[in-house]
A and B are shown apart, each in its own frame.
Chain A
């Protein structure tokens, strides 16, 4: 064995190890996809690289559906308590962009359709909402902070859903604006960071870089996808906080990269000045976090971030209070449809 080659292998291994530690290239968890394919394919067998790729997209679809399920469930929680019809849920089902996202993936468009074993398609794609709370992908999305009751992400999400609903169905202030592309890029970047999906990262780069066909695709995303992007960012932010508390600074850069400071103005317009400022502050603190030289500095920034997160929540809460002062939007009790019996 050539010693030089051996040494090169060792050095490259170090590089890969640190790529993983810093979140630049992390091994994906494909347990679900592999088991689905193993169960669906008689005789196991080789499905080839294309099939593996499709399966990866399928796994991404499952993850996205899990995200959608989370939104649906939380939106239902947010509205059912108030006795409002589960229109949010129907709304989510009707224009759930997450379902559409994999279809928009140009990579998938190149794949021959209809050759996939049936079991490879995420079975939840046509499942009615009641099954979604048991969806395995959903806890993953919000997994970073299971021990934090009440869940700030859930609250933010619920409030946003409520505000979206108040703004009217099909409200999509971002679809035609440049902000839509930016937020779509953020969505892809968040997905890329979570799952190491290089293709998603490419789309993010393309959306940010302004390549026209990709940007058009990104602009077709609906407001709900923008919401998902924000959710993913928030999840990353909270995950970062938790990791810092545990002494893990490794993922700070990765999560911090997601907070690029874009889209603040649009959200400020939609959710009020307080919210916009609070988010911008949070973004700034995340940038500071990236620059923190040591654990003490990071912890100091962390304190500021906690305050900033509180400010975000407060701004949303105030907005919700304002929204609640307009009872005309809610139908009278007699006209309200019955509570969803599945809940």
Chain B
């Protein structure tokens, strides 16, 4: 599944000169510039890649390893401009996860699952960005009433639907409805926050 270009990330193109990689002996201006570009890329996208890998099914440790590997791969492979580096990075990360799982003889994520995760990324281009987490944190603080309580009980305290519903004195079905409504409100709030940030 070619991820490059699929997800409009809004990033500037990540061009590389195709110069030979820097050796350990020293670094010329070209190499330094490449490292600076890599630094910017890592700063901007390391959280996104890690979250994407997590959603694909990697545990935090595995996601950490593969995230580093992803940036090394793009650092080594850049020979031409990449129009959408976020999607490109996700593509590398996904392939690395599948390859690693195969090498370890572990289950790889199914095509359906990877397609669902990629579609999620396509629907919400900033779904994995650091900015979204910040917006979500702010929106959670603004959430009021039983909706917030439902979110805290289930997502923050980790209670099951049943336990959380009992805590609120409502049925499981009612709790799910309440939680779903709260999530929708959060999603809307996050979207507004991020659009506001973009406009600013």
Contacts and interface: CB of A to CB of B under 8 A. Distances in A.
Interface of A: 1-2, 5-6, 8-10, 12-18, 20-22, 25, 27-31, 33-35, 37-49, 52-53, 55-56, 117-119, 196-199, 247-248, 250, 253
A47 B69 contact: yes
**Interface class of chain A by DSSP:** helix
Contact of A46 (B46, B72, B136): B72
B126 to A, nearest CB: 12
B21 A198 contact: no
A49 B69 contact: yes
Given A20-B133, A38-B72, A119 B155 contact: no
Which 7 A-B pairs have CB atoms at the shortest separation, nearest pair first? A44-B76, A18-B155, A52-B65, A27-B50, A198-B61, A9-B116, A27-B47
Given A14-B183, A35-B38, A35-B42, 6 more contacts: A12-B55, A13-B120, A18-B156, A44-B77, A47-B72, A49-B103
A31 B43 contact: yes
B76 A43 contact: yes
Contacts of A10: 120
Interface residues of B, number: 52
A33 B68 contact: yes
B117 to A, nearest CB: 6
B127 interface: yes
A22 B59 CA distance: 17
Contacts of A9: 55, 113, 116-117, 119-120
B39 interface: yes
Contacts of A33: 68
Nearest to A20: B133
Given A14-B183, A16-B51, A29-B46, A1 B137 contact: no
